[in-house]
Amino acid sequence: MDIKEFNNSITEIVSRVIQSVVTISTVRIAIDEFFGLAPVRGMGSGFIIHSKGYIVTNNHVVQGSSTVYVVLPTGETVEAEVIATDPYRDLALVKVDAANLKPIALGDSDKIRVGEIVFAIGSPLGLPGATVTMGVISAVGRTISGENIILDDLIQTDAAINPGNSGGPLVNVAGEAIGVTTAIIPYAQGIGFAIPINTTKRFLEMISRYGRPIVAWIGVYVSPLTQEQARMFRLPISRGLIVVGVVRGSPAHEAGIARGDIIVKVNGREISSPRELRIAVEESIERGYVELEIIRGGRRYSVEVPIAIQTVA
């Protein structure tokens, strides 16, 4: 493909995807020390996931808002209803009453590769209309901390993501949303982050299944086992998760899981990342427990650990 064909391909993708991207305007009531209650306006982005008016954005875009408005790709402004929010994943679902909406295609964030070309689309700095920036996937599985929040398993990109971009899609060259961009880290310079779209799919699935987002947990803090650690402790494995902490009173604590245990399998599947453990726990909500295979003192044990459910406020 020559440069002209490449440019045409990119512009076609962007022109199609941009029809699914919206601007979100919020109003929240704050206390002004001189005038009492005063409205404070905020801006963000979002993208349409269903023709019936469902839109995904970041939780921090709509959090605490008394009124939420959506500027559609047509330029029409409509009031939106906040259906659900999840501060732990920094995701929110809002709905508008509008017709002829064009949902974006959702990709598979498990298949993304470092170096892949991506586009961040949104309304940076409150500028009207959608803006497009291009970059590459710089890294995956990142963990970042912002104000009162820790987000893990994030996509890192060098595509410019500024305040106002938050909640917009990170799009691949197939025109699929593979992430939800977040500008929650204001000091990042030349680095942008996005919540994987598969995390968003699980958020939506929980709303569909349980009527609200929920957090499933067993109460362990884990770290991937390295090959150096496996050699040092003469372990018969090279993959697994080391338990570095157990929450007192949690299901894992009550089941006898202890610091230093090595989790090698969950529900019969080998495991090597905290993300895989989290997904396995979420997938086992209806069963009510996960079966862990652990190594302790050179011996293998199997233990069933109940799953605790926390409703997201």
Residues with a catalytic annotation lie at: 60, 90, 166
Give the single-character DSSP code of 143. E
Q: To 10 degrees, the CA torsion angle through 217, 223, 225, 230?
A: -110
Task: Determine the Cα–Cα distance for residues 93 and 85; give it in Å rounded to an integer.
Answer: 6
Q: By three-state DSSP, how is residue 251 classified?
A: helix
CB distance 290 to 304 below 8 Å:
yes
Q: Which of 276, 291, 241, 281 is nearest to 261 (CA)?
A: 241
Token digits for 189? 């310079």
Token digits for 222? 């884990």
Amino acid at 123: S
Token digits for 149? 């929040």
Give the residue carrying structure tokens 């018969």. 236
CB distance 256 to 250 below 8 Å:
no
What is the sign, positive or negative, of the torsion defined by CA atoms of 156, 161, 162, 163?
negative
Token digits for 160? 């410019």
Query: Which alpha helices (H) appear in the chain, and where do they start and end?
Result: 3-17, 59-62, 197-210, 227-232, 251-254, 274-283
Task: Determine the Cα–Cα distance for residues 122 and 170; give it in Å rounded to an integer.
Answer: 9
What is the sign, positive or negative, of the torsion defined by CA atoms of 137, 138, 140, 143?
negative
